[in-house]
Amino acid sequence: MRIGIIGALDEELLPIREFTQHLERKHIRNRIYWHGDVYGHELYLTRCDVGKVNAAVAAQQIIDHFSVDLMFNIGSSGALSPELEVGDLVIATEAIQHDFDLSSWGLQPGEILFDAVTENGQLKFRSQQIFTCDKKISKLIMDVAHKLKFTEVLGHSPKIISGRILSGDQFIGQQTKANELWNILQGLCTDMEAAGIAHACTVNDVPFVCVRAISDKADHSATVAFTEFLQAAVVNYGKLFEKVIMQLE
């Protein structure tokens, strides 16, 4: 299987590169990829940088250049659910672009238009709000995660929770906005890339899965020591993904 792995930061990819065999660096146009193999699978890793457009572009380029069979996204995320704490891991079941807003047209937040045409002066289209993750592999990730002992993050032993995540080109650092997203869309957490990657994968019929580590509470405390968090969180990413890749068919 050919597997694409995308992180917004290089640091998020380091633990996976460490257990990847025959690792080589590829420079194609303006993007750097790392290619290697693990347990019979080929891995293609790249940093996408922050934001949904950057993430979608990176996903499309991996698909175009390497014809991957599966796409992983890893990274940090701000908690929206009250039950989440810094260091917890969220295994996504689906993703919504919370800042895509055509509510003035009567659509739901995050509902995106496709195949729009005008017929007899009327706009016709199909729409999609939710981009789903691959159920079989997401379940495998969940099963593997529950069997692992993870490194504590800031003195907290990580919980493993699955559910909806939200993405937008905004850093959510205000309690009022965090509450709004939680109340309206019931996303467990919010980031700036996952739903963009999910969108690109859906258009290309490539299965998508995502794991996010909670880096902050998406409120006034969102400036918690990110570097300290990241150092521990990436170790947990590495543990989880090595075991998951080992068990992929």
- List pLDDT tens digits, range 81-93: 999 988 899 999 9
Residue 218: band (very low, low, confident or very high) from pLDDT cuts 50, 70, 90? low
Helix (H) or strand (E) holding 142: helix 135-147
- Residues sharing a CB contact under 8 Å with residue 176, sequence separation 6 or more, in sequence order: none
Answer yes or no: is pLDDT of 222 > 70. no
Q: How far apart are CA 108 and CA 193, in angstroms?
A: 20
Residue 57 C-alpha from the chain's centroid: 14
The number of residues in the chain equals 249
Could you tell me which CATH number the domain at 2-247 has?
3.40.50.1580
Q: Calculate the CA dihedral of residues 244, 182, 168, 196 and round it to 10 degrees.
A: 40
pLDDT for position 47: 96
Greater confidence (142 vs 155) lies with 142
Q: What is the DSSP letter of 111?
A: -
Helices then strands (H, E): number in the chain? 6, 12
Catalytically active residues, by annotation:
12, 216
Closest among 24, 153, 43 to 88, alpha carbons compared: 153
Residue reference for tokens 């895509």: 100
Instruction: State pTM to two decimals.
Output: 0.93
Each domain of the chain, given as residue ranges in start order, spans: 2-247
